[in-house]
Chains A and B, each alone.
Chain A
Amino acid sequence: MSSIGTGYDLSASTFSPDGRVFQVEYAMKAVENSSTAIGIRCKDGVVFGVEKLVLSKLYEQGSNKRIFNVDRHVGMAVAGLLADARSLSEVAREEASNFRSNYGHNIPLKYLSERVAMYVHAYTLYSAVRPFGCSFIFGSYDQDDGPQLYMVDPSGISFGYWGCAIGKAKQAAKTEIEKLQMKDMTCRELVKEVAKIIYIVHDEVKDKAFELELSWVGEVTNGKHELVPKDIRVEAEKYAKDSLEEEDDSDEDNM
């Protein structure tokens, strides 16, 4: 557990003596409390996987989605406070829409993630508002630029990745992701691996039921971001469950 702020952590407009803004760090803790989301970029697309914990049997299946469409060619997977994430998805949608209206073409993902990061960062400067308590992963596919993957965190920075994970099991997920040779894989192969990773990092003891949300964008979808079709998702989940039964605890992997 990191040090307690004691007095320097009451507002985002205060630095601590050792140069930290505690409110932003607390916001990142909120992300770490949420269940895991991962995004991986392969040679012809991007795949998202989210471990969506089901807190009650009364929930309708497929409700409380954590993967959003920002534009036709851009998808966004989130972890953290879902309400914050929803409002930011509206911000991202507006940015993408205004860009298309002004410049006549799809928004480049790097630019979109920088604009959203700038917005998130603005909320870390003042004591009148609190920082956003969510991280998100943006993914897109474009014929000329290829697949792109960017992550934005509550401090307001954005980085480009080949694979990234956010949420409670992000360390374990990162380890699994690093084992993959994603640059040589296609989306169809990757979907199965993403499902497998989510199943691996899911904690059966602490959290019980979960729904796997899978989405992709790439050559296989003609550049459109959409949820993975049911039959492919079922196949991926089967692959994930079978792999878990074979292996002991994911140390020896199939490389």
Chain B
Amino acid sequence: MLEESSEPGWLSEEVKTGTTIIAIEFDGGVVLGSDSRVSAGETVVNRVMNKLSLLHDKIYCALSGSAADAQTIAEMVNYQLDVHSIEVGEDPQVRSAATLVKNISYKYKEELSAHLIVAGWDKRGGGQVYVTLNGLLSRQPFAVGGSGSSYVYGFVDAEYRKAMSKEDCQQFVVNTLSLAMSRDGSSGGVAYLVTIDEKGAEEKCILGNELPTFYDQ
């Protein structure tokens, strides 16, 4: 029987990390969180991808948008930070990492479609979160991004309080991710968490069935 030669969607659709990402500062560090779903159109091509990418020992970034674009930016900045930290002879500042990401995002803003949230700890500024959407650079106490973030703006705006402790921040991030993952079709899977402070970066993975549940779950 003759069939239209239709390739599977995932061969022709761009691979996006339709995503939920979040980063938040606390006194002495930051917490970053992300979901793990990578979609190509309607297909989930990877359900366990870690979207929290290392830029340096105590600086991470959260990827969203086009998977290829975001990963490439993160790799380039990781390389540039390695060279930079050796040249200046000390750990790089979070601001430097964010500026490097911003410079690439802005210069190639027409060609790229990725948004990276940069967060980390350095000895001068403590925990810092930077937003680099579309090539801007802005420091914020917390930031959310990706397709799932639209569903949780109300939640984060209502629940955020200044001067939360590290554990409160971790809980805040997990709650936000769980809510976004349950409503956004492009977010799901497991939740990845990275907590960065003076001592270093601690990675954690929370499986789908361990995430907090809310009404209707």
- On whether the beta carbons of B99 and A102 are closer than 8 Å, the reply is yes
Question: Quick check: A105 and B96 within 8 Å, CB to CB?
Answer: yes
On chain B, the residues within 8 Å of A105 by CB distance are 93, 95-96, 99
Report the separation of the CA atoms of residues A111 and B100 in the bound assembly, to the nearest whole angstrom.
Answer: 18
Q: In the complex, what distance in Å separates the CA atom of A205 from the CA atom of B202?
A: 70
Which residues on B sit within 8 Å (CB–CB) of A103?
84, 92-93, 95-96, 99-100
- Tell me the complex Cα distance, A104–B98, Å: 8
Interface residues of B (CB under 8 A from A): 84, 87-89, 92-93, 95-96, 98-100, 102-103, 123-124, 137
- The list of the 3 closest CB pairs from A to B, nearest first, reads A104-B99, A103-B96, A104-B95
Residues of B within 8 A of A111 (CB): 87-89
21 A-B interface contacts by CB (under 8 A): A102-B100, A102-B103, A103-B92, A103-B96, A103-B99, A104-B93, A104-B95, A104-B96, A104-B98, A104-B99, A104-B102, A105-B93, A105-B95, A105-B96, A105-B99, A108-B88, A110-B88, A110-B89, A111-B87, A111-B88, A144-B123
B137's partner among A104, A108, A110 (CB-CB below 8 A) is A104
Task: Say yes or no: A144-B124 contact (C-beta < 8 A), given A103-B99, A104-B98.
Answer: yes
- Besides A104-B96, A110-B89, A144-B124, 11 other CB < 8 A contacts? A103-B92, A103-B93, A103-B95, A104-B93, A104-B98, A104-B99, A104-B137, A105-B93, A105-B95, A108-B88, A144-B123
User: Which A residues are CB-close (under 8 A) to B95?
Assistant: 103-105
Task: List CB contacts (< 8 Å) of A93-148 with chain B.
Answer: 101-105, 108, 110-111, 144
Q: Measured between alpha carbons, how far is A105 from B96 in the docked complex, in Å?
A: 7
CB neighbours (8 Å) of B89 from chain A are 110-111
Least Cβ distance of B205 to chain A in Å?
32
Q: How far is the CB of A113 from chain B (nearest CB, A)?
A: 12
Residues in B neighbouring A102, C-beta threshold 8 A: 99-100, 103
Please report whether the interface of chain B is mostly helix, strand, loop or mixed according to DSSP. Answer: helix
- Shortest CB-to-CB span from A114 to chain B, Å, is 8
Q: CA A148 – CA B102 in complex, angstroms? A: 30
Query: Shortest Cβ distance from A27 into chain B, in angstroms?
Result: 27
Distance between A36 CB and nearest chain B CB, rounded to angstroms:
32
A38 to chain B, nearest CB (A): 27
> Bound state CA distance, A104 and B130, in angstroms?
12
Residue of chain A at shortest CB distance from B90: A108
Q: How far is the CA of A102 from the CA of B80 in the complex (A)?
A: 10
Q: Which of A102, A104, A108 has the most chain B CB within a 10 Å cutoff? A: A104
Contact flags (1/0) for A140-159 with B, using CB distance below 8 Å? 00001000000000000000
| Contacting residues, chain A, for B87 (C-beta < 8 A) | 111
Query: Nearest-CB distance from B93 to chain A (Å)?
Result: 6
Q: How long is the Cα–Cα vector from A251 to B14 in the complex, in angstroms?
A: 80
Q: Nearest Cβ in chain A — how far from B77, in angstroms?
A: 11
Q: Whose C-beta in chain B lies nearest to the C-beta of A107?
A: B88
Q: Which residues of B contact A104 (CB under 8 A)?
A: 93, 95-96, 98-99, 102, 137
**Chain B nearest CB: distance from A15 CB in Å?**
29
Chain B residue numbers with a CB within 8 Å of A110 are 88-89
Closest to A103 in B: B96
Complex alpha-carbon distance, A35 and B88, angstroms: 33
Docked pose: A31 CA to B93 CA in angstroms: 38
Counting chain B CB atoms within 10 Å of each CB, which of A103, A105, A110 scores highest? A103
Within 8 A of B (CB), among A178-231: none
- Min distance, Cβ A159 to any Cβ of chain B, angstroms: 15
Q: How far is the CA of A110 from the CA of B88 in the complex (A)?
A: 8
Distance in Å: Cβ of A109 to nearest Cβ of chain B: 11
Chain A residue nearest to B99 in the complex (CB): A104
- Separation in Å of the B39 CB from the closest CB of chain A? 33
Residues of A within 8 A of B92 (CB): 103
A102 CA to B96 CA in the complex, in Å?
Answer: 8
Q: How far is the CA of A9 from the CA of B46 in the complex (A)?
A: 68
How many Å lie between the Cα of A82 and that of B98 in the bound state? 39
B92 CB, min distance to chain A CBs, angstroms: 8
Question: In the complex, which residue of chain B has the Cβ closest to the Cβ of A108?
Answer: B88
